[in-house]
Structure 1
Amino acid sequence: MKDKLIHRIKKIQNLMAKKDIDILVVVNRENLIYFTGLTQIECMAVLIPLKDDPCAITLWLDADYVEQESGLKTFGYFFPKESLGSKVVERIKAYGFRAPRIGFERYFVPFAFYDVLRQNFPESNFVDAADLFYRVRAVKEPNEVEMIRRAAFAVCKGMEAAIKTIKPGISELDVLAEAEYAMLKAGSNGLPFRPQIVSGNRCLLTHPHASTKLIEEGEVVVVHLGATYNGYCAKMCRTVAVGEISAAHEKVFNLLLEAQEKAIAALRPGSKAWEVDEAAREVIRRAGFEEYYLDVIGYGVGLRQSEFYPIIGKGRQDIIEVGMVVDLLLPTIYHRDVGGPRITDVIYVGENENEILTGYPRKLIKV
């Protein structure tokens, strides 16, 4: 097994011991990438016992490749005679377990897969281990940061293409097409989420995506893009003014930019997530808009575009550490008359200073 994978396995085994988990069953793509180092994977699981060596299970055609590239002992299954679930059961029993305490990723396990485990281990306890995975992935290794940096480079190229394309009369989808093409040419391996190119009143939607709507003079356009490199994500959001926009919208953008700068300054090793949130929230509060602002302003970034540790928000006790990568700020001010503008960047937490990985100009962009 490769040294970096050994280190990751040991880290999560230490967390398993604290929750009395005998064996972890890993099937989520992001965690499979983390524990194998491979991105060309489908129909696969990794088993991590507390006191034994891990193994991988995959389709028999891929078994040699997975074992050679990851260094994990790998067992193939013959579909449809065998299934991933049945092979996982077989290997758990081969470890000597009869009624183990099994940890798995609560949000990403198909019911059919879970049902096979439950039927074969009726006396076992099944434990939600999602927080273990997010905590072990929260502090990035140098090579992980480099992957995110490469993804961020592609995002910047996509943003550059989008800005050049935006003008009255062009559709949101046309802007997205140019941005996606530019990101792929810049090395992106694909999209981590459905990108958002939204204009006018559509900017107030919480999870919008590009449509056939034509961009109009005097509108605000929000461009929210993401890219991946070897599984790792970067994202960025910028606000574009098409011609003259209202003074109120411009004021809101500058308010969000100030809030972001305060949050980035507060994002220091040893600080708590709620303190970072409060640094931004105080700016919004002073302007009288707190009731229109969300309770979460950022997440960790890595193999997911929004990882669930750390979460930057009200009351969050997550401790910021050197090597974390987070995004700030996520929300706009959700006020019908002045809301819509947004700004988001991916930030690496350094020992002495932070690095904004998405190095594209952060001012209001006017076209």
Structure 2
Amino acid sequence: MFRQGSQINIELAGVRHRYTAALMRTFSIGKPSEHLCRVHEGHVAGMEAALQTIRPGVSCSDVANAFYRTYEKHGFKKESRCGYAHGIGWLEPTASFQNGDMTELKPNMTFHLMLGNWFNEDFGYMISESIRVTESGVEVLTNTPREIIKI
């Protein structure tokens, strides 16, 4: 049952010529709770840190650890990976943004930087971007605002 203060987490994708660009966002029915706002702030700060790290020559582990360090400064911890390679099809099991994955980023690699975290059975949060590694950094493939969407 949906009520004021409930949230909805959505993951979807656009597909063109079999290439996939995934996107996750959290929606709040009415005003989001303070806890949800704090979780959102931590995720967005971690996402910015990860995006600023992405460039050729950096490892997947470096990107993940940039997210983890920033996210932990906001008082939260994520145990699982924070992204994976994708493109033709939803998942390409070749590289993951997780501690220890030393895959070196190269231009035109694409990833789903997905920062979902489930804290308990009743509370979770999702935000993500599909990205492409460029010659000098990163290109975000969508232009969806990074906010809690209020409905």
TM (norm. structure 2) is 0.91
Decide which of 125, 128, 142 is 1:344's aligned counterpart.
128
Provide the C-alpha distance between the structure 2 equivalents of 1:338 and 1:255, rounded to a whole number of angstroms: 19
Query: Partners in 2 of 1:246 and 1:312 — Cα distance?
Result: 29
One-letter amino acid matched to 1:283: T
Could you tell me which of 274, 284, 287 is aligned with 2:71?
Answer: 284
- Alignment equivalent of 1:364, drawn from 128, 139, 148: 148
RMSD: 1.7
Q: Which amino acid aligns with 2:112?
A: D
Partner of 2:109: 324
1:303 is matched with 88
Aligned residue for 1:130?
none
Counterpart for residue 168 of structure 1: none
Q: Aligned match of 2:27 in 213, 230, 240?
A: 240
Contact 2:7-2:28 at 8 Å conserved across structures:
yes
How many corresponding residue pairs? 151
Say which structure is richer in strand.
2
Counterpart-to-counterpart distance in 2, 1:227 and 1:366 = 22
In 2: Cα distance, 1:325 partner to 1:223 partner:
21
Specify the SS of the correspondent of 1:345: strand
Aligned residue number for residue 274 of structure 1:
61
Q: Judge conservation of contact 1:248–1:338 (CA < 8 Å) in 2.
A: no
Cα distance in 2, alignment partners of residues 318 and 273 from structure 1: 6
1:252, 1:339 within 8 Å by CA — same for their partners in 2?
no
Q: Which of 250, 256, 260 is the equivalent residue of 2:43? A: 256
Contact 2:10–2:25 (Cα < 8 Å) also in 1: yes
Distance between the aligned counterparts of 1:238 and 1:277, measured in 2?
Answer: 20
Higher relative contact order (CA 8 A, sep 6+): 2
SS at match of 1:351: coil
Deviation at 1:338, TM superposition (A): 8.3
Quick one: distance in 1 between partners of 2:39 and 2:93?
Answer: 28
Equivalent residue for 1:146? none
Q: Distance in 2 between matches of 1:337 and 1:247?
A: 18
Please say if residues 295 and 314 of structure 1, whose CA atoms lie closer than 8 Å, have aligned partners that are also in contact: no
- Paired with 2:128 and 2:12, the residues of 1 have a C-alpha distance of 10
**Structure 1: 5+ residue runs without aligned partners?**
1-213
Counterpart residue type for residue 88 of structure 2:
L
Residue 305 of structure 1: CA displacement? 1.3
Match of 2:14 in 1: 227
- Say if 2:26 and 2:127, in contact at 8 Å, map to a contact too: yes
Answer yes or no: is the 8 Å Cα contact 2:9–2:126 preserved in 1. Answer: yes
Structure 2: distance between partners of 1:298 and 1:237: 12
What amino acid maps onto 2:14 in structure 1? A
Q: How far apart, CA to CA, are the structure 1 residues paired with 2:115 and 2:44?
A: 12
3-state secondary structure, aligned to 1:281 = helix
1:365 Cα deviation from its structure 2 partner: 1.4
